[in-house]
Amino acid sequence: MLKITNHPGAGFFSCCTTKLEKILEYFRNNHKLPDFLDCKEQFNNYKNNNDDVTYIYFKNNEKYDISYNKLVYVTSINKEQQFSEYNKLNFNDLKPFIYKYFSPSSNIEIMINVFIKKYNINLDNTCGIMYRGNDKVIETIQPSYNDFILKALNIKQKNNTIRFLVQTDELEFLNVFSKYVSNSFHIEETPKINKQFSSIQHIIDKNIKQKSTVAYIASLHIMSKCKYIITTSGNGEMWMVLYRGHSNGVYQYLRPKEYIYNVKNKSYDPNQEYFWIDNL
């Protein structure tokens, strides 16, 4: 049995990152998957008791097995994963682990379909805008609103019909972005708060937190399949790209103020203040 715990205040995708790291560590040390995962001490901010809520959010794929004769890591570089270059995530090696332990549950799949229909989302003509604000400024250097607006307008200049799906926890960003970028919309069911040095998970009513979390996860899965993504860096952003299965079409803003447009076999020069690879 593998027991997985988190700091009580950990965010949803921080819990996912910890879980993935522990599973991979066990797999490297034992050359097999754990027989059982004890996750009762995970997702404490998203439940009212000590139950294991894994299958509220993830599909039960217990019978799916993984056989590798090599060591598997989240990323090919030695740094904190959420603030790593997402074009260096080990997508192929991680894919079976993502499928087994982190596939969306049936209720999240239903919500994905509801949102796609309700907001008339054409994934092939949508650019996802992922801006994680509020307390994230404590952990990393955040881009200005203008950085995201200019990049979105650059994409819009090449395709005037493209729509912009905005996923953010910061109301001010949503309002400013929507003002300057036409064809933008957001999923109303995902929670947002005014800018502050606090996380939305500590503000939102616990009685509706599970429902809003399901909406957020569904939104993230939709974002992962958009034609383009412009994103900040963090655990949620990293999982969005992991679910995408590759980093092509992803514009990543990364500390210390680098933009990375990920294209196969290309990356950025860390000695430059910022770097774009334009391949639209």
The edge-to-edge listing of strands for the beta sheet with 250-254 is 184-185, 163-168, 126-131, 228-231, 250-254, 258-261
How far, rounded to the nearest angstrom, does the alpha carbon of residue 79 sit from its chain's CA centroid?
18
Q: What is the mean pLDDT of the chain?
A: 87
Last residue of a domain, one of 102, 132, 147: 102
Domain that holds residue 163: 106-261
Task: Provide the number of structural domains found in the chain.
Answer: 2
Residues 112 and 40 both lie in one domain = no
pLDDT band (50, 70, 90) for residue 274? very low
Kindly tell me if the per-residue pLDDT of 268 is higher than 60. Answer: no
Residues 179 and 166 both lie in one domain = yes
The whole-number pLDDT of residue 279 equals 33
As given in the structure block, the two tokens for residue 185 are 């919309």
Degrees to nearest 5, angle at CA 188 with 208 and 193: 65
- For the segment 9-31, what is each residue's pLDDT rounded down to a tens digit? 788 999 999 999 999 999 999 99
Residues 113 and 237 both lie in one domain = yes
Degrees to nearest 5, angle at CA 227 with 238 and 251: 45
Does some domain include residue 240? yes
Residues 50 and 111 both lie in one domain = no
The whole-number pLDDT of residue 260 equals 58
- For the segment 229-265, what is each residue's pLDDT rounded down to a tens digit? 999 999 999 999 999 999 999 999 886 545 555 544 4
The answer to whether the CB of 67 falls within 8 A of the CB of 32 is no
Does some domain include residue 272? no
